[in-house]
Amino acid sequence: MRIKNPFRSLVRILLLRAPIEAQLIVTRRCNLSCGYCTEYDHLSELVPLEVLKNRIDALHRLHVANITLQGGDPLLHPQIADLVAHAGSRAQVSITTNGFLLSEELIERLNGAGLDNMQVSIDTLYPDGSGHIQKSIKSLAPTLERLRRLARFGVHVNVVLCESSKDQFLALLRHLGKFGFFISVGLVHDNRGTVAISGSDYLDLWEHLFQKGRPISCVEYEYGKQLLLGQRPVWQCRAGARYLYVDEFGNAQFCSAQRGRLDKPIMAYTRQDIRRHSATYKGCEAGCSLFCGYRSSQVDNALPSIATAMFHMLRRVRLSDGHYASKRISGMLRSPRGAAG
């Protein structure tokens, strides 16, 4: 994955102690309705471009290292390329999408806007007849091929591991491996962010990814194992500080699963807010499987673990493989929406 300005990112993260990631909702609308997702509707109005630019400016003032444009599906916003260009002027910028709207023309617009990274969500080989799982290789293989051929930004695929996807998980990893993209896996959670699966079947699949697959991050490896073993490790969430979630109303939240607890307009958010929320336990850490918050928090909780994870990740990069050698390991501190966090 691409890091546009590594030195700037390190200064912001280590010296300024700024937020590592801010997820900005550009629309709550989605063209799908996956059964495990709680982050979409079909009714909300699109957030106007100028309103979103003002919110992005507020994130820039906080020196956020990476701004992720999310939804719903952010590609439904007709001015998404303008938002990418504005966010990317003073930060790293990413998009999380289901990929169904990625035409050749849109990919080229995102190339031109300077997009750094994209996460595409795919969960199974085939759609679930019940509609619980709708993002499949069968539906999105042409999109992945299009991205592999045209995208000048980094691309990785996120898979949500749940009851409906586990039987196709290994075959899905094999198929995704043909495209050469890195992979992240989220453990499905309830509407409060608590992991909703456990057991040996899921643990074996988790181990397979990290031992034989192409994970984009190893930071959550041990923590995910503990969750799948039914354990509830103690850790401190730094949401509201290292990690921000800005909803469609422009309010900063701790995360997508804890909306309504913080509810402070991002336009009024300050460095004092960051310091305060960095120092407080949120009370919902036990069993949380939103890895975006976990990874960002580990920079303050256990920085050596980040270095160790990066070392193990770099060992997996096969320099003899041109596709791998061209990738830059920036996904260590970020994750996508939904069950992955």
Q: Tens of pLDDT along 103-139?
A: 999 999 999 999 999 999 998 888 776 666 677 888 8
Please, what is the average pLDDT of the chain? 88
pLDDT over threshold 50, residue 329: no
Q: Look at residue 59 and tell me whether its pLDDT is greater than 70.
A: yes
pLDDT at res. 322: 42
Phi and psi angles of residue 73, each rounded to the nearest 5 degrees, phi first:
-120, 115
Residue 45: pLDDT band (50, 70, 90) is confident
Do β-strands 21-25 and 243-246 pair in parallel, antiparallel, or remain unpaired? parallel
Q: Taking a C-beta distance cutoff of 8 angstroms, is the pair 132, 36 a contact?
A: yes
Q: Taking the CA atoms of 44, 50, 51 and 52 in sequence, report the sign of the dihedral they define.
A: positive
Q: What is the pLDDT of residues 145-189, one digit of tens each?
A: 999 999 999 999 999 999 989 999 999 999 998 898 999 999 999
H helices present in 136-268, as ranges: 137-150, 169-177, 200-212, 221-228
- The 10 Å Cβ neighbour count of residue 164 is 18
Could you tell me how many residues make up the chain? 341
Residue-level pLDDT at 313: 60
Q: What is the pTM of this model?
A: 0.89
Structure tokens at 79: 């001015």
CB burial of residue 194 (10 Å; 0-12, 13-18, 19+): middle
User: From the centroid of its chain, how far is CA 229?
Assistant: 24
Is-contact 102 147, C-beta < 8 A? yes
Which sequence spans correspond to the domains of the chain?
A: 6-340
Tell me the pLDDT band of 38, cut-offs 50, 70 and 90: low
Residue 30's pLDDT band (boundaries 50, 70, 90)?
confident
Q: Which CATH number fits domain 6-340: 3.20.20.140, 3.20.20.70, 3.40.50.2000, 3.30.530.20?
A: 3.20.20.70
C-alpha span between 237 and 205 (Å, rounded): 26
